[in-house]
């Protein structure tokens, strides 16, 4: 069974990666269940932005890229306050090892500050948000809901469904037709597309 490591921290934006985590853990859409392992800087409980209390399964210092298949980072107040450096460094290690990293909303700012986005196509809330970090990757910013560049998946805060879709596509968990139907369901697309979800 493959493993997705999920960074958790105070004010973690739980809804931003909810679609992705549900599909990975249950396999209800992809037919493949994953281990979803929460990772904190310590094992002390953290409280999400939605008020859920999470006790991390393991500490960040013990996470090794070769033991996982994906590293997921959501937004939180810490990114806008200049925090999250340890998580950004871990993301860099995963990318250097050829293991995918999926970052959404504020987490993209953390990766920008760490230089991770300088040479990779990416997206976020808006280009100006990342430029405020002082990063050098502005020329690689793409104004799309979600962007995949090799092993890096990024998305803005208004795109949790597209984020999930992009990650599942990068991981090879479903066909393009099925992913189109998946995204369509959550955007009230033509119901005639729905059979592709179970086909």
d(Cα 114, Cα 94) in Å, to the nearest integer? 14
Neighbour tally for 199: CB within 10 Å? 9
* Strand pairing class (70-73; 101-104): parallel
The SS3 of residue 69 is coil
Which residues are tagged catalytic? 105
CB neighbour burial string for 60-77, b if at least 16 within 10 angstroms, e if fewer: beebebeebbbbbbbbbe
For 109-131, b where at least 16 C-beta lie within 10 A, e where not — what string?
A: bbbbbbebbeebbbbbbeeebbe
Give the strands of the sheet with 146-149, arranged side by side: 58-59, 35-40, 3-7, 70-73, 101-104, 152-155, 146-149
User: Who contacts 59 (Cβ-Cβ below 8 Å, separation ≥6)?
Assistant: 39, 40, 41, 42, 43
């Amino acid at each position: 069974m493959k493993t997705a490591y999920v960074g958790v921290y105070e004010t973690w934006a739980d809804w931003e990666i909810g679609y992705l985590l549900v599909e990975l853990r249950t396999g209800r859409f992809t037919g493949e269940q994953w281990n979803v392992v929460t990772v904190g800087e310590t094992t002390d409980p953290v409280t999400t932005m939605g008020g859920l209390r999470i006790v991390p399964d393991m500490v960040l210092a013990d996470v090794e890229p070769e033991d996982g298949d994906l590293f997921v980072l959501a937004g939180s107040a810490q990114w806008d306050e200049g925090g999250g450096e340890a998580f950004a460094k871990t993301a860099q290690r995963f990318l250097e090892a050829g293991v995918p990293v999926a970052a959404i909303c504020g987490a993209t700012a953390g990766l920008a500050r760490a230089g991770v986005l300088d040479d990779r196509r990416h997206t976020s809330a808006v280009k100006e948000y990342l430029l405020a970090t002082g990063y050098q990757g502005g020329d690689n910013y793409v104004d799309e809901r979600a962007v995949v560049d090799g092993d890096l998946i990024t998305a803005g805060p208004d795109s949790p469904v597209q984020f999930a879709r992009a990650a599942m596509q990068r991981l090879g968990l479903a066909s393009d037709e099925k992913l189109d139907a998946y995204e369509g369901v959550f955007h009230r697309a033509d119901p005639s597309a729905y059979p592709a979800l179970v086909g």
